[in-house]
């Protein structure tokens, strides 16, 4: 889907580079790891709590407010709101510590130094801890409650990232679970706005990038008013709101476009937009980043359905060429950032990343990897271990293990790859003869990236690893 025109993308990325944009994370932006996939936060929370409370049709509640209304309507439960609140808190604590790709993409944009969230979970904070050196929840995260905004130290420099939960979070133990809670919290936010100087000063003359409507229509209107010093009709910044088609009422859209005259409502997936924004920002800024810094900017753990690049340390520059090209082509990519780290824990984590987190494995074959054949078999270099782990998953006729080379001479096939993976000279892939070694140069790189993206898109559409058996 085309979210913005190229001119609008340039304007938005330019404003981000000037640190004029503040992302606002709504519920539809947050995904929770569940049964091997990702599910939206609010339905997941509602289902978890409804099951613990024994409510019928537990999977049918779209959010906690709906299940709370059902719970309170049952005989004897009218004054037992605290039961729902405690169960929601326990469910929040059980969320797997795996920020989704979209949150990691936003956290990795260094030009964002202020994040606002309207959800109570800690996934965005975890993403920031992974990708922003020095980020500390005790100093850099604040959460508004009826008692004010605890957390987020007032001495945090504006250059450092800060995260504010506008409607409470799990660490504050106070967050809304139904409509009245939300109404009271938004009212308190407006009434006590002058007690939040750090937040208000950082919001001055900023453009909001709202990724998922925070709640029902009326909450959006009042929450926006709480964030600005003046009436909404006096705002000049080109605010953007992204939400799934049909999720916003016509009344709210008219209100936003008539009151915030420069605002734009875009009907599309906030998650998909955030992923594209992260890719475009990295592509735009990659030319100013040397290879090692580029590697350091990659997430600590592989994003969902990423491409893993296995390389010898001598081939870092070639690995980064592949990684930059894949990222620019919209393909999430990951490679080993800490291969000098020793210890069984890291060894196990790397093996798990290849076997469980990555969708495709790119083996970068070079003169350096071929020259390593005489190494001590008892002390394999890490790229050899990576390839052995990946080869254990290789199935002839199915795309997973993808060999490439920039400098292996034509006519020479790899001798150092795992014996369970057979190769053929560049040409059609055939389960009987082996997968073709892609020999890349400047002209072949872009078509190769499109091919890899097509493989990944095929998996995302069908849930099946694409095949090449003939």
Bridge partners, residue 405, by sequence: 365, 439
Domain-located, residue 125: yes
> Rounded to an integer, what distance in angstroms lies between the CA atom of residue 241 and that of residue 224?
12
User: One digit per residue, pLDDT tens: the chain, 470 residues?
Assistant: 678 889 999 999 999 988 889 999 998 899 888 877 788 999 999 999 999 998 888 788 888 888 888 888 888 776 688 888 899 999 999 998 888 888 988 998 989 999 999 999 999 999 898 888 788 888 899 888 766 555 555 556 777 889 999 888 888 767 888 888 888 888 888 888 777 777 887 888 788 898 988 766 677 778 887 777 777 777 777 777 777 777 777 777 787 777 776 678 888 889 889 988 988 887 777 655 667 667 776 776 777 788 999 999 889 889 999 988 887 777 888 888 765 444 556 677 788 888 888 899 999 999 989 887 655 554 567 888 899 999 999 988 999 999 999 988 888 888 888 888 888 877 788 777 888 889 998 888 888 998 998 898 888 888 889 998 76
Radius of gyration of the chain, Cα coordinates, nearest whole angstrom: 25
Would you give the DSSP letter of residue 245? T
Same domain (yes/no): 89, 104: no
Q: What is the residue whose two structure tokens read 């052995």? A: 388
Residue 86 domain flag: yes
- CATH code for the domain in which residue 425 is found: 3.40.50.10140
Query: 74, 93, 112 — which closes off a domain?
Result: 93
- Return all residues near 196 (Cβ < 8 A) that are at least 6 apart: 144, 148, 149
Asked if 332 and 349 sit in the same domain, the reply is: yes
Among 72, 93, 114, residue at a domain's last position: 93
Tally of residues, the chain:
470
Same domain (yes/no): 426, 391 = yes
The separation between the first and the last C-alpha atoms of the chain, rounded to the nearest angstrom, is 33
Token output for 243? 């939400």
Q: CA triplet 394, 441, 383: central angle to 5 degrees?
A: 40
- Let me know if residue 429 belongs to a domain: yes
Structural domain count, the chain: 3
Structural domain of 398: 289-462
Residue 418 CA, chain-centre distance (Å), reads 33
């Amino acid at each position: 889907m085309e979210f913005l025109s190229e001119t609008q993308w340039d304007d938005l990325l330019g404003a981000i580079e000037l640190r004029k944009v503040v992302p606002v994370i709504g519920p539809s932006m947050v995904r929770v790891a569940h049964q091997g996939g990702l599910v939206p936060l609010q339905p997941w929370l509602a289902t978890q709590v409804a099951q613990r409370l024994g409510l019928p049709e537990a999977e049918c509640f779209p959010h906690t407010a709906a299940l709370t209304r059902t719970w309170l309507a049952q005989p004897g439960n009218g004054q037992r709101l605290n039961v729902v609140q405690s169960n929601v808190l326990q469910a929040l604590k059980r969320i797997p510590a795996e920020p989704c790709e979209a949150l990691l993409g936003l956290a990795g944009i260094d030009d964002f130094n202020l994040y606002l969230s309207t959800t109570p979970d800690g996934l965005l904070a975890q993403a920031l801890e992974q990708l922003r050196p020095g980020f500390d929840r005790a100093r850099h995260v604040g959460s508004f409650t009826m008692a004010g905004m605890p957390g987020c130290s007032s001495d945090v420099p504006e250059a450092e990232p800060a995260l504010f939960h506008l409607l409470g979070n799990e660490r504050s133990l106070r967050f809304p679970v139904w409509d009245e809670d939300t109404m009271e919290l938004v009212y308190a936010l407006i009434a006590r706005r002058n007690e939040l100087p750090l937040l208000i000063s950082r919001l001055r003359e900023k453009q909001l990038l709202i990724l998922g409507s925070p709640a029902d229509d009326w909450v959006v209107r009042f929450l926006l008013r709480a964030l600005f010093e003046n009436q909404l009709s006096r705002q000049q910044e080109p605010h953007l709101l992204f939400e799934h088609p049909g999720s916003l009422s016509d009344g709210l859209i008219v209100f936003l476009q008539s009151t915030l005259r420069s605002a734009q409502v875009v009907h599309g997936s906030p998650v998909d937009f955030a992923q594209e924004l992260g890719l475009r920002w990295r592509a735009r800024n990659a030319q100013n980043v040397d290879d090692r810094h580029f590697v350091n900017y990659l997430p600590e753990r592989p994003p969902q359905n990423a491409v893993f690049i296995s390389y010898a340390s001598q081939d870092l520059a070639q690995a980064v060429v592949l990684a930059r090209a894949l990222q620019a082509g919209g393909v999430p990519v990951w490679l080993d950032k800490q291969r000098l780290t020793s210890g069984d824990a890291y060894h196990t984590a790397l093996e798990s990343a290849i076997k469980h987190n990555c969708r495709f494995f790119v083996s970068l074959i070079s003169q350096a990897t071929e020259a390593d054949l005489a190494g001590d078999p008892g002390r394999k270099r890490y790229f050899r271990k990576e390839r052995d782990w990946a080869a254990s998953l290789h199935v002839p006729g199915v795309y997973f293990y993808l060999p490439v080379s920039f400098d292996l001479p034509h006519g020479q096939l790899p001798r150092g790859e795992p014996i369970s993976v057979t190769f053929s000279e560049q040409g059609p892939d055939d389960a009987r003869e082996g997968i073709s070694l892609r020999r890349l140069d400047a002209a072949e790189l872009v078509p190769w990236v499109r091919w890899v993206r097509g493989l990944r898109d095929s998996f995302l559409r069908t849930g099946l690893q694409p095949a090449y058996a003939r």
